[in-house]
Structure 1
Amino acid sequence: MSETAIVDTGLGDAEDDDFDDLFEEASSELPEHRYTDRELSWLRFNQRVLELAEDPTVPLLERTNFLAIFASNLDEFFMVRVAGLKRRIVTGLAVPTNIGTPAQRVLEAIGREAHTLQERHARAWAEGVRPALEEEGITIAEWSELTDFERASLYEYFHDYVFPVLMPLAVDPAHPFPYISGLSLNLAVRVRHSRTGREEFARIKVPPMLPRLVRVPERDTDRVRYLPLESLIAQNLSELFPGMEVLDHHAFRLTRNEDMVIEEDETENLIQALEQELLRRRFGPPIRLEITDDMDDLTLGLLIEELDISEQEVYRLPAPLDQRALFQLSELDRPDLKHNKHVPVTAAAFAPTDSDSKHARADIFAAIRKGDVLVHHPYESFATSVQAFLEQAASDPHVLAIKQTLYRTSGDSPIVKSLIKAAEAGKQVLALVEVKARFDEANNIEWARILEKAGVHVVYGIVGLKTHCKIASVVREENGRLRHYTHVGTGNYNPKTSRIYEDFGLFTCDPVVGRDVTRLFNELSGYAIEKKFSRLLTAPLHLRKGLLRLIERERQNALAGKPARVRIKVNSMVDEQIIDALYRASMAGAKVDVWVRGICSLRVDLPGVSDNIRVRSVLGRYLEHARIFAFENDGSPEVFIGSADMMHRNLDRRVEALVQITRPAQITELTDYLDLAMDDGTATWHLGENGTWTRHRVDADGKPLVELQDQRMKFIQRRRSPRRTRTTT
């Protein structure tokens, strides 16, 4: 395939209608129960995370981290996924899921699987990770195990730092049952009045601003011991209830519905509406109650009644609750218990040359002018590619304008600072801020206002759509003409997550891409409605049908006896139309490979339908985040990268962008990367019957299989030039 070959990604209206008719007719021939439910598939993804925590070959503190990731993932699942199902049931919108099962039955199945997984998670800690940590001198201690000296030292800490911020709240006729905030850890305390003998109930919130694991003062420096903060509070309850007899205490934790619904068509000010919705979210209805397994029936009955929660929504677990606290252990300076440190390298194209020696970094614009540059994070540095691109643009007197989408980043990010610096220098700067990015809404509103005050033109996209595409455009004057430098990526412009998220990014000064991206920004910031792009596939208008058309071409090639193959890497594979197109391609003889990190509604156990489909999943030290779409095209592969997952929200309710890769070497690199993930010699999870996943780690002789992320590190290191120096993100 020539470097300048470009697919026509637009679709005319008449052709759209014909394509819809073709799709509906072909899909009617497929079996009815051809999808796995997305929510149950998500739970199986989190099970894969848990399997990493259970794996003794994974470094110990990494296993601890995976336990915390599992807990954090499950919290968000309940706050959003389960909450959404319950809302549809309560409001009468309990439409069938994509497996044709009523939402209520899916909710019951989720409850069963979630209970099983949480119990397994607790066992993984109690029977696996915790004893292993103790063997390495890292202990989560019980109060009874402490010496008098240690107890006295911890009492001083309690009195100086904990006691002043505690707020015990009584429950009696004069004090109604207190509001319990979502994801807060609490102690339910029963006390008896010493004079009247009357029993009372009180609630104490464990302060979230204090370290959850309190370091135990040690005379033996070889050991590290912690006491959970709730245990320290529990041992000093007499300080909080003087004159009362403490009868009992138990930890509990509540999860609330934190899904957000904003009718943008009916609001005049999106920011104000969003701020109001953020306040409302704090008071969402309860959807899960976690309690310690020693809680008595009297206390549990009171919580169920006051919180208006069902017994099926109660999760009885061994202490400690909320194992997100285990993230704290990752701060320990024990490199022997972690993955070997990987330092990202500067991409070959951006490595300083002899002519750049007087500068700290290479001339990014000169490098891009030599040809498209493809970078792979975190193996290749975000700091010396994306960050350097925007920093140079902000400082370069020849740069006239910068336009960028921002979905998730931090206010102190060098990316944001570069935009502010450019605006203060008099350049035209446009930042499209997605203030509806889930759980980052308040943060995004705050730094959007900071950008506005600095003179950046801040816009919030199109009503009713989230802007999820990752694009940046720099307009530079060169020899009396304007040149567009463009970055299209698969990940957020976030220096922090770039260290742990696997993502690709393309830098190009191809005028075709420059025009496409300029038109897309005009559509996002103004009233332009683009019907056609040249090297981009964009949602919500073109992306799904563009992909369907490309998949259909592979099907037709297979029927004609030509080479036919579809290779896709995504976070989630849910969209029914895309899945049905893959089934039809498989039935025609095309090979279909899907590499998915999380949810997968596609099945591989349908005889005569999915015979040519393979699905793999990779989890490891980095979070697989890149989206890649590769089509064989009769021996002349076409490859796209971008921001879109195969989900309804991405294809119908978000602005997404895929860019076509045209340099042959980069096409080969991406297809080789996809092939490595699908190779039977690579350690992956394989999707099998009934939506189950099986981990493949060793071969028939018991020899460990190749770790994909380790192989990628080696590949990037091998192609470094002799002059290339290490850098950090």
Structure 2
Amino acid sequence: MQPPRLGAVEGGHERNLPFTSQCQTEDMTLDSLQPDAASSHGEGVPEEPFDVEPPYEPDDEALAAVEKYGDRFLDRELSWLRFNQRVLELAEDPHLPLLERTRFLAIFTSNLDEFFMVRVAGLKRRIAAGLAVPAASGLMPSEVLEVIWSTTRELVERQARLFRDEIVPALSDAGIELVRWDDLDREEQKTCKRLFKDRVFPVLTPLAVDPAHPFPYISGLSLNLAVLIRNPKTGKEHFARVKVPPIFSRFVPVGNQRFVPLEDVIGEHLKRLFPGMEVLEVHTFRVTRNEDLEVEEDDAENLLAALEKELLRRRFGPPVRLEVEESIAPQVLELLVSELDVREEEVFKLRGPLDLRGLHDIADLPRQELKYPAFVPTTHPLLAEVESAAPVDVFKAARRHDVLLHHPYDSFATSVQRFIEQAAADRHVLAIKQTLYRTSGDSPIIDALIDAAEAGKQVLVIVEIKARFDEEANIRWARKLEQAGCHVVYGLVGLKTHCKLAMVVRDEPDGIRRYTHIGTGNYNPKTSRLYEDVGLITTDERIGDDVAHLFNNLSGWSRNASYDQLLVAPDSVRSGLIEQIHREIAHHQAGRAAGIRLKANSVVDEAVIDALYLASQAGVTVDLLVRGICSLRPGVPGLSETVSVRSVLGRFLEHSRIFWFENDGDPQAWIGSADMMHRNLDRRVEVLVRLPGDDNVASIGALLDLAFDESTSAWELDSAGHWTRNAGTVHLQENLIEAQRRRR
């Protein structure tokens, strides 16, 4: 897996649990906010997921009052660019530790790469196929592309200036020097010469361009040298391409925490690659290609084989961007543009060095004083109520009460990972069922599932091999699991299985008991330390029944679309949430307490947004916490005056999806894997679970209180689509870290 797409970013009005300043000074972890941590699971949950009262149904007049605002949706692509701008603003923030600012520069680059590989490529593909239709924002794809080119150009130039004028000098002041070849002293140049001779030179492959050698294929995101050489005997000039090997560190250490770009080292020694020739010019360039996959599952007898074939094809996707150094010679640029078939607006001229993803290596330097203070997650108190050196007994704890986890503050290793490992080793466990979307390369969860299968337990694993950019790793783990005897299923045709579910079936003295985990994040021990997520471990029988039915739907021919405590996409997540929104409208119209608070990565789905507009027009307060894309316009007179939208980005990537409804003073909270996007609601298997127990709902409510409090630092969205950082002094993640430390 690549470094996390955002690395460490990406990203109240509650009436019966008002936010107080005390929340800022006392423990703010989810478990500490529970009024009765030892209360039994399921307390306070009615028999039916919704009230008996008929729900509110908007009439034609109410719908027309929303639909008359033809420009009510912000463009999703442009909203994403504003998200990445917020990441860049973190790199610009002088209050953040220097190496963290450096990492945010690298994250900004990685984010933009993926945006071009997928979103920009998709826009170009639609235009080329003659399928260009207006987006919900009303903009045509060609219009969106024009804004993308200009906005992206501004952002990357801003990034380059920040790197050159602020980050590099600040790093130098801290004793970390990023220099170019001419800045090296004689001994450092000798060091680089030895490195080139011993390690780099044997790996390089110069590719010439002439009638016998066509223009070489340039792989996506690779860093390359465009070399202009001349034959001294004939005077004829030739072009050659040299790929900078990605197997070496991008910034070469030369001692005393001084680093020089690898392309500088290669460029200085090109005469060894072209003996007898004159090296006239050397320029770095980089190509971004369409790397999204398209697998027609209906026509593929074997999904694994089809996907493997498509992965090979990915390397040859058409270019969507060409990055060059601004000093590039006109004739070299003309050749690249012609051979790569890119348009003028797709060329980005920048001051070097290009491709700042390599700054991750600099950010990883062992200079703790230049980073966030060290943070170590702790075991959830309900899983370790008595301090002991013995491993956590998840089953014993879950039998006593539900456990609502909040990662990374609550340790993933001693909760979710321990849950699967304990199940694999427990002789009373009969079966383990789990979904896997993304996991790490050395996942102990994979090892535990293999151990369980080899011990004779029934192990079902729903592996989503189509998880973008993790396809190869997931194919590898799928085969490894199959070889160990696990039942491996690739989900439903046409749908990605994105839900985060694990179930353990255990034979106990009083009968079979099911232990269930439902979360908002992947079963990935590595990203669990960087991503903020919530999860529930429960023995609630109704939730267990629902999850068992869902696993049967995914692995067999069962088609049960009705669930008691779950909303499941593509059948009921959108409709279920809209029904909840409508219910809040009914409460407000009847004079009862009403309010809606949602936390998500993206809010794009037009039907959900229109329902929120309806709620606002009725006077319901709507608060959205959106890390990334938001197509809803808040604060529009007559449409969304009671809607506020804010975004929190920082050390951890805000990844959890939470849906909270006031419900006449008896709040409901749902958590799950679904963002408010078409792909999640229509083309994925997603799950939201209604949290059982008043204590769990209160914990979520208090967390949202802090997130939406005016004193909490965040970016706020206006009706024009602009995000502005507020003057808040309370940092949500730092507050929760401090609470966790006090708990420890």
Residue 212 in 1 paired to residue 236 in 2? no
* 1:69-218 alignment runs, 5 A limit: 69-216=107-254, 218=255
Tell me how far 1:707 sits from its aligned partner.
0.5
In the other structure, the counterpart of 1:224 is: 257
**1:441 alignment partner in structure 2:** 471
Query: What is the distance in 1 between the residues matched to 2:362 and 2:619?
Result: 50
Change (3 A) 1:23 1:46: farther
Secondary structure of residue in 1 paired with 2:201: helix
The letter for the 2-side match of 1:302 is L
The equivalences for 1:329-728 within 5 A come to: 329-351=362-384, 353=386, 357=388, 360-479=390-509, 481-698=511-728, 705-720=729-744
Distance 1:95 1:111 in 2: 19
Distance 1:269 1:457 in 2: 16
- 1:693–1:25 distance in 2 versus 1, CA, 3 Å: closer
Residue deviations 1:364-422, cap 9 Å, x none?
A: 10100111100111011000000110110000000000000000002420000000000
Q: Is the 8 A contact 2:635 2:644 kept in 1?
A: no
Deviation per residue, 1:108-167 (Å, 9 max, x gap): 111111111111111110111111001001011111111111111110000001000000
Corresponding residue SS for 1:418: helix
TM-score normalised by L of structure 2: 0.92
Q: Distance in 2 between matches of 1:625 and 1:262?
A: 27
Aligned-partner Cα distance in 1 for 2:226–2:426: 60
Q: Which amino acid aligns with 2:368?
A: P
Shift, 1:330, TM fit: 2.1
**Residue 35 of structure 2 is aligned to residue 5 of structure 1:** no
Q: How many angstroms does 1:669 deviate by?
A: 1.2
Q: Residues of 1 paired with 2:528 and 2:539: CA distance? A: 23
Kindly provide the amino acid, as one letter, of the partner of residue 45 in structure 2. A
CA distance in structure 1 between the partners assigned to 2:142 and 2:437 by the alignment: 33
Q: Indicate the residue corresponding to 2:287 in structure 1.
A: 254
Match of 1:725 in 2: none
Q: Which amino acid aligns with 2:305?
A: Q
Distance 1:486-1:160 versus aligned 2 partners, 3 A rule: same
Instruction: Return the offset for 1:29.
Output: 4.0
Shift of 1:678: 1.1
Deviation at 1:650, TM superposition (A): 0.3
Question: What is the CA distance between 1:605 and its match in structure 2?
Answer: 3.6
SS in 1 for 2:720: helix
The structural deviation recorded for 1:639 is 0.2
Q: Which amino acid aligns with 1:317?
A: L
Shift of 1:26: 4.9
Letter in 2 for 1:712: L
Q: Post-superposition shift, 1:25? A: 4.0
Residue 306 of structure 2, aligned match among 273, 276, 284? 273
The structure-2 alpha-carbon separation of the partners of 1:572 and 1:321, relative to structure 1 and needing over 3 Å to count, comes to same
- With over 3 angstroms needed to count, the CA separation of the structure-2 counterparts of 1:29 and 1:35, relative to structure 1, is closer
- 1:302 partnered with 2:335: yes
Residues 411/134 of structure 1: CA separation in 2 closer, same or farther (3 Å cut): closer
- What code does the residue aligned with 2:138 have? G
CA distance in 1 between partners of 2:738 and 2:68 (Å): 43
**Counterpart secondary structure, 1:121:** helix
- Note if contact 1:9-1:542 (Cα within 8 Å) is conserved in structure 2: no
Contact residue 66 and residue 613 of structure 2 kept, 8 A: no
Deviation at 1:692, TM superposition (A): 0.4
**CA deviation map 1:652-706 (0-9, x unaligned):** 00000011112212211111111211111011001113100001245xxxxxx01
- Cα deviation 1:328-368 (Å, max 9, x = unaligned): 012211011000011101000111637xx4x6212110100
| Aligned residue in 2 for 1:726 | none
What is the identity percentage for the equivalent residue pairs of Structure 1 and Structure 2?
A: 58
Structure 2 residue aligned with 1:65, among 74, 96, 103? 103
> Residue 643 of structure 1 contacts residue 658 of structure 1 at CA under 8 Å; is this kept in 2?
yes
- Cα 1:75–1:29 change in 2 (3 A) is closer
Q: 2:288–2:319: 8 Å Cα contact kept in structure 1?
A: yes
Structure 2 Cα separation of the partners of residues 604 and 168 of structure 1:
55
Secondary structure class of the residue paired with 1:598: coil
Equivalent residues of 2:66, 2:610 under 8 A apart: no
**d(CA) in 2 for partners of 1:555, 1:717:** 41
CA distance in 2, matches of 1:670, 1:163: 57
| Cα distance in 2 for residues equivalent to 1:719 and 1:386 | 20
Query: SS where residue 689 of structure 1 aligns?
Result: coil
Alpha-carbon spacing, 1:7–1:155, altered in 2? closer, same or farther (3 Å)? farther
Once residues 479 and 407 of structure 2 are traced to their aligned partners in structure 1, the CA distance between those partners, rounded to angstroms, is 29
Q: Which amino acid aligns with 2:496?
A: K
Query: 1-side partners of 2:713 and 2:441: how far apart?
Result: 38
Task: Supply the AA of the counterpart residue of 1:514.
Answer: G
**How far apart are residue 298 of structure 1 and its match?**
0.4
Gapped regions of structure 1 (runs ≥ 5): 699-704, 721-729
Q: In structure 2, what is the Cα distance between the partners aligned to 1:494 and 1:19?
A: 41
What's the TM-score once normalised by structure 1's chain length? 0.94
Where does structure 2 lack aligned partners over 5 or more consecutive residues?
A: 1-15, 17-41
8 A contact 2:516–2:538 mirrored in 1: yes
C-alpha separation in 1, matches of 2:629 and 2:537:
30
Any idea what SS the aligned residue of 1:690 has? Answer: coil
> Given residue 191 of structure 1, which amino acid in structure 2 is its aligned partner?
I
Decide which of 315, 327, 336 is 2:348's aligned counterpart.
315
The answer as to whether partners of 2:66 and 2:614 remain within 8 angstroms in 1 is: no
CA gap 1:90/1:303 in 2 versus in 1, 3 angstroms = same
SS of residue in 2 equivalent to 1:519: helix
Mapped to 1, the partners of 2:489 and 2:441 lie a distance apart of: 17
* Cα contact 2:495–2:683 (8 A) shared by 1: yes
AA partner of residue 3 (structure 1): E
Checking the alignment, whether the CA contact within 8 Å between 1:10 and 1:546 is kept in structure 2 is no
Question: What SS is found at the alignment partner of 1:691?
Answer: coil
Distance 2:727 2:91 in 1: 15
Q: Which residue of 1 aligns with 2:4?
A: none
Would you say 1:292 and 2:332 are equivalent positions?
A: no
The one-character-per-residue Cα deviations of 1:295-326 (angstroms, maximum 9, x if unpaired) are 01100000000000101000001100000000
CA contact (8 A) 2:432 2:457 kept: yes
Q: What CA distance in whole angstroms lies between the structure 1 residues aligned with 2:58 and 2:111?
A: 37
Residues 568, 627 of structure 1: 8 Å contact kept: yes
